C-alpha cells in the first residue's frame, strides 16, 4: 500500500476522465472523493476535511469558478487547482480571480498532475528549515506558517499562494525582482497565464499593505517589482 498523502476533492463531470484520475491518485496514496457537479461537491466539502481541491471549470448547474469562490470564502488556505481546456484562456484568468491557486490544461499527463499536487501539499506543511517564517510589515505581523497578517485592530487570513508570495517578497526585500524570478520561485514555472495570475496576487498584496508606513510594493516597468520594507 502506498503511503497516505492527502484527501482530494475531485469535481469532474466526465466519467472516463474522473475514473482515470481517481484511480491514478488512489494508487499514489491519495484519498479521493469524486463529485460530478458543483452542488454535490459543495455538500461533500462541508462534510469532510479536504487537503486540496481539483475542480473542472465546465460543470453542470454551477461552474468550477463559482465553486472555487464558495470554497475560498469558507477556507482561505486550501489549495485549489482548476482543470481547464486549451481554448479557455480567459477562464484561466477568471479562475485566479475566483480564488484558484493554479490550473492544469486538458489533456494532461497524470505524472504532471501528481507533481502539481505534491508541490502544493509540501507548501501547506510547516517548513522545518532555518528560513524565517515570521516578518514585520509596518505595524502588521506576518505569520507564514499560519497564513495570517495581523495587528491589534485587524487580521487577514491568507491563501497559501498569497503567503508564499509575501514570504518571497519579505526574504528579498529592498531589491529589484524580475517577473520571471518571482514566477519560478513562487509559482514553479514562468508562462503567460501564470504571469497574469501573479498580477492578480500582486494587487491583493498591495491592498494588505497600503496603510503601512515604510512598506511599499513598487512596479519597476519592463523588469518586475521591488518590495520596500523599512523593517527588513
List the CATH number of the domain containing 80: 3.40.50.2300
Q: Is the dihedral of CA 3, 4, 10, 13 positive or negative?
A: positive
Q: Is 129 a domain residue? A: no
Does 195 have pLDDT greater than 60? yes
Q: Is 38 a domain residue? A: yes
| Residue 79 structural domain | 6-124
- Angle between helices 192-209 and 160-171 in degrees, nearest 10: 80
Cell readout for 228 is 520596500
- The candidate with the shortest Cα–Cα distance to 145, out of 64, 118, 158, is 158
CA atoms within 13 A on the CB side of 142: 28
pTM of the model as a whole: 0.59
* Of residues 232 and 139, more confidently modeled: 139
- The candidate with the shortest Cα–Cα distance to 42, out of 20, 19, 25, 66, is 66
Coil, strand, or helix at residue 188? coil
Q: Is 48 a domain residue? A: yes
CATH number, position 166? 1.10.10.10
Domain boundary among 97, 124, 151: 124
Domain boundary among 124, 148, 183: 124
Condensed to tens digits (0 to 9), the pLDDT of residues 59-118 reads: 887 888 899 999 998 888 888 998 887 555 666 667 677 788 888 888 888 988 998 888
How many domains does the chain divide into?
2
Q: Is the dihedral of CA 63, 188, 179, 159 positive or negative?
A: positive
Q: Is 84 a domain residue? A: yes
Cβ(110)–Cβ(21) below 8 Å: yes
What is the band of 53 on the pLDDT scale with cuts at 50, 70, 90?
very high
Does 201 have pLDDT greater than 90? yes
Q: Is 120 a domain residue? A: yes
Cβ(91)–Cβ(84) below 8 Å: yes
149 and 225: one domain? yes
Q: Is 196 a domain residue? A: yes
Cβ(108)–Cβ(134) below 8 Å: no
Domain boundary among 75, 94, 124: 124
Give dist(CA 39, CA 182) in Å, integer. Answer: 36
117 and 22: one domain? yes
24 and 63: one domain? yes
150 and 107: one domain? no
Cell readout for 218 is 513598487
186: which DSSP letter?
I
104 and 16: one domain? yes
Q: Is 206 a domain residue? A: yes
Position 128 scores a pLDDT of 43
Amino acid at each position: 500500500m502506498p503511503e497516505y498523502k492527502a484527501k482530494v476533492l475531485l469535481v469532474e463531470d466526465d466519467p472516463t476522465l474522473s475514473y482515470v484520475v481517481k484511480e491514478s491518485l488512489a494508487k499514489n496514496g491519495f484519498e479521493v472523493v469524486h463529485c460530478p457537479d458543483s452542488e454535490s461537491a459543495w455538500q461533500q466539502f462541508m462534510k469532510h476535511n479536504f487537503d486540496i481541491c481539483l475542480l473542472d471549470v465546465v460543470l453542470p448547474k454551477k461552474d468550477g469558478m463559482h465553486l472555487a469562490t464558495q470554497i475560498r470564502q469558507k477556507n482561505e488556505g486550501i489549495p485549489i487547482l482548476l482543470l481547464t481546456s486549451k481554448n479557455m484562456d480567459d477562464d484561466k484568468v477568471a479562475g485566479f480571480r475566483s480564488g484558484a491557486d493554479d490550473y492544469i490544461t486538458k489533456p494532461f499527463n497524470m505524472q504532471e498532475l501528481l507533481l502539481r499536487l505534491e508541490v502544493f501539499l509540501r507548501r501547506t506543511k510547516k517548513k522545518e528549515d532555518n528560513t524565517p517564517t515570521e516578518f514585520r510589515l509596518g505595524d502588521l505581523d506576518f505569520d507564514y506558517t499560519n497564513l495570517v497578517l495581523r495587528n491589534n485592530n485587524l487580521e487577514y487570513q491568507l491563501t497559501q499562494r498569497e503567503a508564499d508570495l509575501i514570504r518571497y517578497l519579505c526574504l528579498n526585500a529592498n531589491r529589484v525582482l524580475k517577473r520571471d524570478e518571482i514566477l519560478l520561485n513562487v509559482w514553479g514555472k514562468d508562462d503567460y497565464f501564470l504571469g497574469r495570475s501573479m498580477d492578480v496576487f500582486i494587487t491583493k498584496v498591495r491592498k494588505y499593505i497600503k496603510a503601512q508606513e515604510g512598506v511599499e510594493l513598487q512596479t519597476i516597468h519592463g523588469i518586475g517589482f521591488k518590495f520596500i520594507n523599512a523593517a527588513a
